[in-house]
Chain A
Amino acid sequence: MRRWWLYVILAAGIVAVVGPFVWMILGSFKSQGELLRTPPTWLPSQPTLDNYVQLFTKLDFPQYFANSVIVALCVTAGNLAFCSMLGYALAKLDFPGRRALFVLVVGSLMVPGMVTFVPSFVLVSNLGMSDTLAGMILPFLAGPFGVFLMRQFISGLPDELIDAARVDGAGEFRIFWSVIAPLCKPAMATLGILTFLGSWNNFLWPLVIAQTEDRYTLPVALALYATGQNNTKYGLLMAGSVVVVLPVLAIFVALQRFFVQGIALTGLK
């Protein structure tokens, strides 16, 4: 332990980063009275599940949860399918405009969400899709980041496999489906997780699309609850935050190597 001081600094950092999460989880088991106590308590003195019970009975959290899951799954499926298709074309197929298309995809990574926000809203409402889950899903069904990631990964696959399949008489769609797609599993896992979490945490778009309560996603419900008249029901806010965050933390801790892989795949080494 020659460098013990490094451990001390890093550990202090961990406490500062993970501490609020622990405090949130512990706080969700406290009563309103205990949450208002000065100085604040760390462990709940009389642990209660009351906050969660209220969340799932008095508020419509099961509905918000289901909305979040549906939107995130659809967005993820769309990105996996469409981004890997274009990624394959950009990586391995020879066609005019290939470079220009790639530059366009990469360039569009820089466009801030606020620029497309107002026209997209006008478009979606003119399509009659405001206040629908479809309206939340459609604009996010395929994104440039996914194309970039899949293209980087597929570029690294050997050409010989594709050539061999072509010699055997396979068409391009057959090659994509039977040769490329199975080899893309690691990249697809990475893209799938990143997209799922991105969609799960997405806030602004669902906020403007959802107009009736049963269309809320979890972050929308939590934010409206936290900034509305009920913002003093601390226990409920804590429990609501746990419901938003915990699935994500579980997915992340279980599959965290894919996040590093994503960074490696998008060429940041």
Chain B
Amino acid sequence: MAGLTVARTRAARTAGARTARSPHRRRQMYAAWGFAAPFGVLFAVFLAGPVIGSLMMSLTDMRSADLRNPFAVNFVGLANFGKLAGDQIFGQAALNTAYFVGVGVPLTMVVALAAAVALDRGIDRFRMAFRVGYYLPVVTSIVAISVIWRFLLQPDNGLVNTVLSWVGVAGPDWLASTTWAMPSLIVMACWRNFGNLMVIFLAGLQAVPRGLLEAAAVDGATAIERFRYVTVPMLRPTLLFGAVITGIGYLQFFEEPLVMTGGGPLNRTLSVSYDIYNQFGFGNYGYAAAMSYVLFLAIVLLTLFQFKLLGRGVR
């Protein structure tokens, strides 16, 4: 009986609150629309619209000549995608991009994790200086970095080969070599990006409970065992996030080859994004749009794959 009264009062109170709040809620709703409007318009015109537009374009034979007359383009269905499957240059670009991501992401992750662990372990002095220093390339224009690295990698008087000659190694002409051009760009990308991941990993490391590490140490775990069985599992969400954002970024790899190699030698550093840019330059808009959707799909798949791979035990 008493329970029923309480329930009824509570129901009455909620109902009362709801009616009393109603005009107030409506006012909030209008305000929210007002706040969302400028972003919404820009979002619709320059993001959502183009995403849909790109999908539509990919099903047409649109060329740059049709720019002022969108009604002149023909619907070609999936013909662009069929053409892509047999396009050798695109195949090479896809292979190059896979190489870049497949080697570049693990390399960058390992370097960033090593730097983060080193900074996290008892280095209090200079921690800020190291963090700032390692982060410098992240905020620097990729174009300027590419220009500088082109000098560093010069065969005769580049800094890299000069340093190698001190230890008796004759370095190759990095960017002109079909073997070494891509590894050069991968090392450069790692150099540029690991600082960003390092800061993220540092934040993750600092959230690992010290007590857990101490308990493992008391139980006789070595430093490597503690890292392997305590730190890495605790860090898993952070590692997953790092792998996803690095993978997404590396799949879109573009400026480095544009400025440093022009996609050469023999298309060995031509990336998918670069190929899209080239097709756009040739005026093949429909074909370029189809390529961009293949890239989009690859990004979604990579993200899902990485969630599956690293996501075990995250939740």
Interface residue ranges, A against B (CB under 8 Å): 2-3, 6-7, 9-10, 13-14, 16-21, 23-24, 27, 36-40, 81-83, 85-86, 88-89, 93-96, 98, 101, 105, 108, 110-123, 125-126, 138-139, 141-142, 144, 147, 171-173, 176, 197, 200-201, 203-204, 208, 218-219, 222-223, 226-227, 234, 237-238, 240-241, 244-245, 248-249, 252-253, 256, 259-260, 263-264, 268-269
Contact = CB atoms under 8 A, between A and B. Distances in A.
Given A13-B115, A119-B54, A172 B150 contact: no
Given A101-B36, A197-B139, A7 B123 contact: yes
B180 interface: no
A125 B67 contact: yes
Contact of A110 (B31, B49, B300): B300
Given A36-B157, A40-B159, A268-B241, A6 B121 contact: yes
B212 interface: no
B54 A118 contact: yes
A268 B237 CA distance: 9
A89 B299 contact: no
Contacts, number: 280
Given A18-B133, A21-B136, A259-B139, 18 more contacts: A3-B121, A3-B123, A14-B134, A20-B145, A36-B157, A82-B42, A85-B39, A95-B33, A118-B288, A122-B53, A123-B53, A138-B46, A139-B46, A223-B258, A226-B146, A237-B147, A249-B140, A268-B200
B35 A89 contact: yes
Contacts of B258: 223, 227
A245 B144 contact: yes
B141 A245 contact: yes
A223 B136 CA distance: 20
A263 B200 contact: yes
A13 B112 CA distance: 11
A13 B136 CA distance: 12
Given A17-B195, A112-B248, A10 B50 contact: no
B151 interface: yes
Contact of B285 (A36, A122, A138, A263): A122
B279 to A, nearest CB: 9
B292 A117 contact: yes
B115 A10 contact: yes
A256 B135 contact: yes
Given A115-B54, A203-B142, A39 B36 contact: no
A115 B130 contact: no
B303 interface: yes
Given A6-B118, A23-B152, A119 B289 contact: yes
B136 A241 contact: no
Contacts of A27: 151
Contacts of B252: 112-114
Interface in B143-201: 143-152, 156-159, 162, 165, 191, 195, 199-200
A14 B137 CA distance: 11
Interface SS of chain B = helix
Task: Pick from A98, A118, A200, A260 the residue with the most CB of B within 10 Å.
Answer: A118
8 contacts: A6-B123, A17-B134, A37-B157, A112-B292, A117-B280, A172-B35, A203-B141, A245-B140
A165 to B, nearest CB: 13
Interface stretch (B9-17, B21-29, B99-107, B213-221): B21-29
Contacts of B110: none
Nearest to A79: B39
Contacts of A218: 141
A252 B123 contact: no
Interface of B: 25, 27-29, 31-36, 38-40, 42-43, 45-51, 53-54, 57, 67-68, 70, 114-115, 118-119, 121-123, 126, 129-137, 139-152, 156-159, 162, 165, 191, 195, 199-200, 203-204, 207, 238, 241, 248, 251-252, 254-255, 258-259, 262, 273, 276-277, 280, 285, 288-289, 291-293, 295-296, 299-300, 303
A112 B249 CA distance: 9
Contacts of B118: 6, 9-10
Given A94-B25, A123-B45, A126-B68, A39 B162 contact: yes
B155 to A, nearest CB: 10
A259 B31 contact: no
B164 to A, nearest CB: 12
Contacts of B48: 108
Contacts of A248: 139-141
Contact of A123 (B29, B49, B162): B49
A126 B69 CA distance: 10
Most buried by A among B39, B45, B119, B122: B39
Contacts of A24: 144, 148
Contacts of B130: 10, 13-14
Contacts of B288: 118
A156 to B, nearest CB: 17
B157 A110 contact: no
Given A142-B38, A269-B207, A116 B54 contact: yes
